[in-house]
Structure 1
C-alpha cells in the first residue's frame, strides 16, 4: 500500500502497516498486524468518480484489482452514475497473471532460498533475467495483440522447462506429489527454489472446509455485505460462519482440484497452476478470461457491493453513494474494503496458527526459513519482521 495525501508527518510505513511474527508464541500473540482500516476514513465525502483512483493509490500493490472492484461496486450502487467498467474478465485475467509473474520472479528468490550464497544469487539473477523476457510485462504500448500464446511459450521455456498443459494435468491429478516430482526432475531456477523450500514445510494441510467461498451465491454475498457494514472491526478481523478462513489461488469457485490436501509449500504449486490457466485460451470456468470469477449486487438504495478473485484471493468493496444535489457531483457516503490479507493473516487464522505451532527452540535460521515459506505461500501485501523473543506479557502468562 502507498500513502495518499494525509498529514505531512504520516510516514509510508505507518500508513501501510506491517506484520510482526513471534514463532512459538500462543495465539493471538504469534501474529500481530499493524494495518489500519484507511478506506472508510479517506473515501467518505470524495466524489464518486475519484473513488477508483483513490483505492488504487491506497492499495498500490494490487492497484488494478482495487480500481476495478471499486468501479463495479459504484455501478451496483448507482447504475449509470459512471461509465460501466468494460472488459472486466480480460482486465482481471491480465492483472492477476502479471501479479503472479512478479511475485514468483521477485519474491520467491528472496523468500525461498535456503540460505544466502552463490546458488541463491544465481537463482535470483536467473529469475530477474526471465522477468525481463516476459511478454506480459512489456509496456502496454508494446504488448502484442494476443500476448497469451507467447507468454505461455515463455512460461514453458523460462519457468517450467516442459509443456505447460502437461504440468497442469499432473498438478490436477497429483497436487503436491507432482510438485515434488517436478522440482526434482528439473534444474531450472524455479524448480530449484521450490525444491529448496520443501524442507521448510512443517505445517499440516489446510482444512478445505475453511476455504473462503463467501462469494458463491447471492445469499452468502449479502451476509458478507451485512457483516462488513454493521460489525465494527470486521474489515480488519473478518470471520466467516463464526470462524477464520483462508483465501488465495487455491479457493477459486471454478477450481476442480479445490479439495486437494495442500500444505503451505504446496500452495506454491497452486499459484503456478493458476498462471498456466490464465495463459491458456479462453474457456468458461476453465482457463483464460473464463477462469476468475467476479460479481456485484445492489445491497440497498444507492448501496452496492462488488467482489473479484484476484492474485492474493477474494477482494470485496462495498460503497454507499449520496444522492447528487444540483450540479454537485455525487459523493461517497461510505466505503469499506475487505482484502485477502485480513483473512489469511487474522490473529486466529491459518498463518497465525502455523506460526504458533513453530518450534521456537530451533535455530533462528531454520525458524525464519519456515516463516519465509509461509509468507511466500500466503503473500501478504505488507512487510513482516520476525522476533525470536517472547514479549514480557507472554513470559508472565507462562510463568
Structure 2
C-alpha cells in the first residue's frame, strides 16, 4: 500500500455557476478485492471496506449472496434488529458529532451533545440491540427532545412543515438549540426533491433496483468500476461536470423511506436535516406506531434472484437506499461454497453527490465561493466521505481537481 494513500478519498464542492459543482478523489475499484473470494466472505469484507454504514453493507451483501444461492431474501428478526440499532446509531452520530463539527456556527453546541451521547444506551457495552432500543425513547426524551418521541412524532404528523421549527424554538436541549440556530440559513437553501423510490415501482422492487444498477453507467452516472468481474465495484462521482440542460438525477435519503406515508417533500436543506431526526425517532418507536411502521419495520430490506447464480439486494440505510448485485461463479465443489464473479454496489452517495444530481443543482444556484451555503447543503445530504469546499471554480478536467 502506498504510504499516505487516502483510501476513502474526499468530495470537492464548488458553489456558484461552475461547470463542475462536485468532484471526487475517491479511489475506484477498491471493492474488486472481493472478486474471486468465497461468496460467504463478502459480508465481512464489505463491512470492513465501509466504516460508515458497515452494518448495512454487511446485510446487503449477505442478502444478495443468499438470493444468488436460491435462498430466501427476507431479513431475519435478528438482522432487522441489528439494522434498526445500527441505523439509529448512525443518525445519532450525524446529529451529535457531525452537525456541531461541520455546520457553520454550530460548534458551541458540541460539548453538550457529546456529553449526552456518552450515556446513550446504543453504546452501552454488552447490551443487546433489543434491550438498547427499548430504553432509547426515554434517553431521547430526557437528553434531546424534552418530551417523548411518541408525542414529538404525533405533533410532527399533525404539522410536519411547521412543527420542527416550533419545537426547536421552544425547547432548550442542545439539539433543539442547534437546529433553531440553523433554521433560517438552511430553509433558504432550496433542494427540489426528486426521490429515488424503486421499492414503490409497479414492476416490483427487484426489477426497479436491477434496472438502476444495470443502467447506472449509461445513465451518466459514475463509470461503474465494477458492473462486471473485469471492472469491480461501483465507483464514486467522477464525471467531468454538470450539464445545465440535463434533468437532475434522483436523490435518496431518510426523506424518502419506503414505509413513510407522511414525509413532506424535502424541498430545502432544513427539511433534509429534520428528516434525520424524524428517522431516528421512528427507529426508536415501538412496532405498530399510529402514523407509520415503527422500530424494526421502519426500514425496508429485501433481495431477489433475477437469474440463476445472481442476486440483488436493497437495504435502507441512514443515508438512503443501498443496492447490491452479485453474480456467483459456477460451483467448483468446494465445501467453502462458490466464489464471487461479479459485484456492483450503488450507494446513496453515488446518487446524492453526482454532478447531475439535486445537490449539484443546488450548489450551482448559490453565490460563487459561498462556503457556508455549500457546507450546509453537503451536511444535509450527508456524504459517506469527507468533503472540501473549493475556494474557486473547479477545473474542467477531473484529474485537475485532485489538489483543489
Give 1:185 shift.
0.7
Contact 1:307 1:317 in 2 (8 A): yes
| Whole-Å separation in 1 of the counterparts to 2:74 and 2:196 | 31
Q: Distance in 2 between matches of 1:267 and 1:82?
A: 31
1:301 pairs with 2:308? yes
Pick aligned residue for 1:314 from 321, 327, 347: 321
Q: In structure 1, what is the Cα distance between the partners aligned to 2:389 and 2:375?
A: 10
State the Cα distance separating 1:283 from its structure 2 match: 2.4
Aligned to 1:247: 252
What SS does the aligned partner of 1:320 have?
strand
Q: Does structure 1 retain, via aligned residues, the 8 Å contact 2:34–2:340? A: yes
2:97 paired residue number: 106
Question: Is the 2:75–2:301 contact (alpha carbons within 8 Å) kept by the matching residues of 1?
Answer: no
Q: What residue is the counterpart of 2:182 in the other structure?
A: 197
For residues 46 and 122 of structure 2, the distance between their equivalents in structure 1, rounded to whole angstroms, comes to 24
Deviations 1:88-134 (A, max 9, x none): 2212111111111111111011123426xxxx33x111011111010
TM-score by length of 1: 0.85
Aligned mates of 1:79, 1:133 — CA distance in 2: 43
Contact 1:214 1:224 in 2 (8 A): yes
Query: Cα distance, 1:332 vs. partner?
Result: 0.2
Identify which of 365, 386, 389 aligns with 1:386.
389
In 2, Cα distance between equivalents of 1:133 and 1:268: 23
Change (3 A) 1:36 1:258: farther
Q: How many residues align?
A: 370
Distance 1:34 1:168, change over 3 A: same
Instruction: Report the aligned-residue RMSD.
Output: 2.7
SS of structure 2 residue aligned to 1:203: coil
Counterparts of 1:319 and 1:228, CA distance in 2:
11
The aligned residue for residue 353 of structure 2 is 345
How many Å apart are 1:299 and its aligned residue? Answer: 1.3
Among 152, 156, 163, the residue aligned to 1:178:
163
Q: Tell me the residue number matched to 1:256.
A: 261
2:53 alignment partner, SS class: helix
**SS of the residue 2:162 aligns to:** helix
- Contact 1:112/1:194 (8 A) holds in 2: no
Instruction: Quote the residue 1:89 is aligned against.
Output: 80
Gaps of 5+ in 1: 1-7, 395-399
- Matches for 1:253-292 after TM superposition, within 5 Å: 253-260=258-265, 262-283=267-288, 286-292=293-299
Aligned residue for 1:4?
Answer: none
CA distance in 1, matches of 2:3, 2:146: 47
1:127 match:
113
Q: Which protein has the bigger helix share?
A: 1
Partners in 1 of 2:74 and 2:261 — Cα distance?
Answer: 35
Q: CA deviation at 1:166?
A: 1.9
- Name 1:77's counterpart in structure 2: 68
